[in-house]
Amino acid sequence: MDTVKQKIGNYRWAIVALLFFATTINYIDRQIIGILKPTLAKELHWDEIDYSNIVLAFQLAYAIGLLLVGRLMDWLGTKKGFSLAIIFWSVAAMAHALAKSVTGFAAARFALGLGEAGNFPAAIKTVAEWFPKKERALATGIFNAGSNVGAVIAPIIVPWITITYGWQEAFIITGAIGFLWLGFWWLLYYHPTEHPKVSKAELAHIQSDPEEPTTKIPWRRLFPHRQTWAFAIGKFMTDPIWWLYLFWVPDFLNKNHGITLLSVGLPLVVIYLVADVGSIGGGWLSSHFIKKGWSINKSRKTAMLICAVAVVPIVFASMTSNLWVAVGLVSIAAAAHQGWSANIFTIASDMFPRRAVGSVVGIGGMAGAIGGMVVAKAVGYILAWTGSYFLIFVIAGSMYLIALLIIHLLVPNLDPADV
């Protein structure tokens, strides 16, 4: 067995490493605003509604970007498309340093959202091109773990940069990291059929699923399918919960437990390290079930059900006075979300041919961003009116089970869409 594995080769996992680091950078750049929120709110005199509007600008642009960028990735290909996305979002991240007002930050967040919309459609399309179906959930879980690593690195480096040099420099330094990744991407990435490091055996393994046509699929042929709506509704209902963790958990820790910029690092590091385990574990879990002989439908949905149930205890996070109990509850929920995310992304490639995956993921991501816009405003108003995170966490704890029920009703067997 080991001999066979050695003959097949493993270069496809090096491609996953590139996707992992891109996603890491993506989340450093988007999470920095949440870490600096108490500092910026005090210095620039923001209230909860101002901050919700800044977050809303990002979500609006992310929705618009995802509507367009999935198609762009299918058209340009992943090498050029991903390069364009990271250049755009890195410049936008650095541009935050020039902002002086709510409007200025909203404009910078809007530009960042447009650029960052390219990451996941490009990464999911790359996985679909480089992996057979039986390995895709694990590959997705690994690169998606970069979101947690980015969320771990940000609270370690951003407070230090801010205290040492200033918040403007924090945006400039973290934004510039994307250009370093771009050099490695251009040196190391080619399509598997053109890559000199991919052996014939590994290419045969990558292409071991039944051959698919390569003709482009118009968007009008994707929207009528219940498979598209199952994926999009699942993203609409659950993506906003992840935005909640990224953009409001530092504020929750500050308000409920007195955690400041200097001390926020350790709790956030714990939350996102645990989330990393969930990301890889969730992807591994459904792949493990498939290897045991379970159907793809049963494997994916069982893994998603386990994750959905694990989110529920977050409803108690705002009720405890113990910091580490609250951190533990948020950590489990974040890990469960990431396990869920690895599987919901993968069902897009289970139900659609490779040539449509970028577009479908873009549609679903757009739906998730629209959900994020709704939640951004709702959280701002709930906090302004109640001053409490209790209702917010009740919503977070219930969304996944409802979403899974809707997905199951729409696609009871995860049948491939007839496009």
Residue 3 has pLDDT above 50, yes or no: no
pLDDT at 87: 95
Specify the higher pLDDT residue, 419 or 40.
40
Q: Per residue in 330-379, pLDDT tens?
A: 999 999 999 999 899 889 889 988 778 877 887 888 888 889 889 888 99
For residue 120, what are the CA distances in angstroms to 50, 65, 73, 81, 341?
Answer: 28, 11, 10, 12, 11
pTM for this entry: 0.76
Summary mean pLDDT of the chain? 88
In terms of Cβ atoms closer than 10 Å to its own Cβ (0-12, 13-18, 19+), residue 219 is middle
Per mean pLDDT, which of 64-73, 83-92, 263-272 is the most reliable?
83-92
Question: Residues 6 or more apart from 182 whose CB is under 8 A from it?
Answer: 83, 86, 87
Q: Per residue in 168-193, pLDDT tens?
A: 999 999 999 999 999 999 998 888 88
Query: What gap in Å lies between CA 54 and CA 39, rounded to an integer?
Result: 15
Query: Band of the pLDDT at 413, cuts 50, 70, 90?
Result: very high
pLDDT at 177: 93
Output the CA angle 367-369-371, nearest 5 degrees: 70
Query: What gap in Å lies between CA 16 and CA 20, rounded to an integer?
Result: 6
pLDDT at 4: 43
pLDDT mean over 104-109: 93
pLDDT at 214: 62
Residue 254 has pLDDT above 80, yes or no: yes
Query: Domains of the chain by range and CATH?
Result: 10-206+225-410 (1.20.1250.20)
Q: By 3-state DSSP, what share of the chain in percent is helix, strand and coil, each rounded to 5? A: 85, 0, 15
pLDDT at 403: 97
pLDDT at 5: 45
pLDDT mean over 143-166: 86
DSSP secondary structure, 178-223, as one string: HHHHHHHHHHH---TTT-TT--HHHHHHHT-SPP---S---GGGTT
Query: Band of the pLDDT at 213, cuts 50, 70, 90?
Result: low
pLDDT at 150: 86
Residue 295 has pLDDT above 90, yes or no: yes
pLDDT mean over 102-121: 91
Query: What gap in Å lies between CA 139 and CA 128, rounded to an integer?
Result: 10
For residue 275, what are the CA distances in angstroms to 147, 149, 267?
Answer: 9, 9, 12
